[in-house]
Amino acid sequence: MALVLNEEQQMLQDSAKEFFNRQMPISELRTLRDTQDSNGFSRKLWQEITGLGWPGITVAETYGGLEFGYMGLGVIMEQAGRTLAATPLFATCVLGANAIALLGNDSQKAQFLPPLVQGKLLFALALEEGVTHGPEKTSTTARRQGENYLINGEKTVVLDGHVADKLLIVTRTAGLPGEPNGLSLFLVDPVTPGITISRHKMADCRNSSSVLLENVEVPASALVGPLDHAMEPLQDLLSIGQIMISAEILGSIQECFERTVEYIKQRVQFDAILGAKQALQHRAARMYTEIELCKSLVLSALTDLELGVRGEALAEVASVTKAKLSETFLQVSSEGVQMFGGIGMTDDEEIGFFLKRARTTEHTLGDVRYHENRYADLLGL
């Protein structure tokens, strides 16, 4: 498969770019922040996105989806990243839809995928339990009690947790924390007795929650995927998530860089164009080469997803991509604020929004250090 977009994918890219620029510019994120919006995103705009069919872009046509593929979803995520659009796309359409598609049985797919495609269900993956990523560290337990399970534990950094209609909770049904085996996934209604959800806004104004689970009783039918052996499909789900958040990061990096270059081309300081300074040209050139590498990594990773690569091979690709994209976003956003100078440190200038987003996306599903270490482990180094 060629590492380029085909005609249909290019049309989707153009459509997504036009939509996000027109309907969800960065000023929309600022409004959500300043008005202390209870949802953290616009329900009205989410319905418009649903009308475009994007929530079902990777979902099979059998369940009402477009079955357009991961490349199409990656294109949309990239354009959303350019305007820092706050939507349920990542939590629901990347993690939620793929969790049901990868781990769910036919009945669960038929029950949950159609309303997800229609924008009637929002999902949240309750995975993390500390400050660093690591599914194998899961200590939240799900113990059998008759025909049901009792879940106890606490989850942190649950993206869109407070607005989710369904929680996908990673639990330990066997073994000890740190062991890869013994994990199971449960689909739970957030209003189930014993669940307490607390909203915590992140530095970039995005939704995050902690979820406390105290003797939460769920039926055996809430189990999604194999009992005790969810780690393998869960790793594929997380690899998909890591690649898709990298696609979003790519859009943010490009927009941040373009804004920075445009600024130093126009900014006059001491009767000279700021961009005429050789030192800044060198820094811009270095960013440009890093961004070109990032484009290739994301396109290659999306191509692997399209070709059906899974398991450790996909995990290697996901870790390389996520580590490099996160590292470059940190670099480009920091350089952007520096080159904008004093005004870049003010809230009036939008370049600072990219710097904040870079700090939160780095830690989403594993930071640079985590993925560098995982890649080395996968290679046996």
Structure tokens belonging to residue 59: 């979902």
| pLDDT confidence bin for 2, thresholds 50/70/90 | low
CATH number of 125-224: 2.40.110.10
Give me the pLDDT at residue 272, please.
87
User: How many other C-beta atoms can be found within 10 angstroms of the C-beta atom of residue 266?
Assistant: 10
- Hey, what CATH class is 7-121 in? mainly alpha
* Distant-in-sequence, close-in-space partners of 38: CB < 8 Å, separation ≥ 6: none
User: pLDDT per residue over 221-238, tens digit each?
Assistant: 999 999 999 999 999 999
In 3-state terms the chain splits into helix, strand, coil percentages (rounded to 5) of 55, 15, 30
| pLDDT confidence bin for 370, thresholds 50/70/90 | very high
Does 1 score more than 80 pLDDT?
Answer: no
| Maximal C-alpha separation, the chain | 79
Does 346 score more than 80 pLDDT?
Answer: yes
Model-level pTM greater than 0.85?
Answer: yes
Task: Name the nearest CA neighbour of 358 among 319, 315, 325.
Answer: 325
Q: Which CATH architecture has domain 231-378?
A: Up-down Bundle (1.20)
Does 157 score more than 60 pLDDT?
Answer: yes
* Distant-in-sequence, close-in-space partners of 288: CB < 8 Å, separation ≥ 6: 257
DSSP class of residue 319 equals: H
Give the percent of the chain with pLDDT over 90. Answer: 96
According to CATH, where is 2.40.110.10 located in the chain?
Answer: 125-224
CA dist., res. 320 & res. 5, Å (int): 21
Give the percent of the chain with pLDDT over 70. Answer: 99
Structure tokens belonging to residue 288: 């440009």
Which burial class, exposed, middle or buried, applies to 115 when counting CB atoms under 10 A from its CB (0-12, 13-18, 19+)? middle
Q: What is the mean pLDDT of residues 295-312?
A: 97
Does 41 score more than 70 pLDDT?
Answer: yes
DSSP-assigned states of every residue in 325-381: HHHHHHHHHHHHHHHHGGGGGSTTSTHHHHHHHHHHHHHTT--HHHHHHHHHHHTT-
Give me the pLDDT at residue 107, please.
98
Question: The tokens 């194999």 sit on which residue?
Answer: 226
User: pLDDT per residue over 247-281, tens digit each?
Assistant: 999 999 999 999 999 999 999 888 889 999 999 99
According to CATH, where is 1.10.540.10 located in the chain?
Answer: 7-121
| pLDDT confidence bin for 335, thresholds 50/70/90 | very high
Which burial class, exposed, middle or buried, applies to 227 when counting CB atoms under 10 A from its CB (0-12, 13-18, 19+)? middle
User: pLDDT per residue over 165-214, tens digit each?
Assistant: 999 999 999 999 999 999 999 999 999 999 999 999 999 999 999 999 99
